[in-house]
Structure 1
């Protein structure tokens, strides 16, 4: 017990060596996953947009097209890949890929407006929060 005082400094120094995985920001995930089609500004003018049969959505107008309210839950469902189409089948009206598998990880409570905090992937919430900043 008389050498217990030596353990604390050792434990603290080892704690500093543990590397935690950095979670990308919403802006970083948007840049990595969305900007190729939607463009860095979110207007649907990314480099990959020209190759698509249907122009990507202008993400700066989501609130304007929803009575001035950002449709966070609907946006996150679309990003995740929930489109109301049978699992494994692509919505033929939309070339939007499913990003759910890429965004899994830490869950945080998210209230989609019904007063019920629901466990939701942090990265998905961060992308939606970033999209709110792009609204015109």
Structure 2
């Protein structure tokens, strides 16, 4: 690795600013990939909701249900599949493969950097913008 230590690589990754998040692209991705279950307004009332055993989350309430802080890490990990899944499924299928793209860094709600793809970063930006 051209003489770089792990610490140097980590420092470069952490110091690299996150790419701009595109809320319009995030909304488009949501409408195409998520609205069937979560609804066009992201309130959990999509056309598939009545037939699901575990009802979709109202995504407009994520910040309110997390003591006023948007749960960036939890949202990213739920979308990309890093959040542990229960043995017989989870409230949301893993859609990480649909959102592959250039890696970017976001700041998690804990303040720590979190790596994700540009499409997920765009989705997170849009979800943050619709919090009530």
Q: TM-score, normalised by structure 1?
A: 0.72
Return the offset for 1:75.
0.6
Work out which of the two has the higher radius of gyration on C-alpha atoms and give 1 or 2: 1
Structure 1 residues 115-126: aligned runs within 5 Å: 115-126=111-122
Please state if 1:133 is matched with 2:125. Answer: no
Q: 1:53 & 1:131 partners in 2: Cα distance?
A: 24
| Two-structure CA RMSD over aligned residues (Å) | 1.9
Contact kept in structure 1, 2:55 and 2:91, CA below 8 Å: no
What count of residue pairs does the alignment treat as equivalent? 109
Q: Which runs of 5+ in 2 are unaligned?
A: 1-23
| Aligned residue number for residue 53 of structure 1 | 53
The equivalent of 1:92 in structure 2 is 88
Q: Taking CA–CA contacts closer than 8 Å with sequence separation of 6 or more, which of the two structures ends up with the larger relative contact order?
A: 2
Task: Tell me the distance in 2 between the aligned counterparts of 1:119 and 1:76.
Answer: 9
- The answer for the alignment partner of 1:12 in structure 2 is none
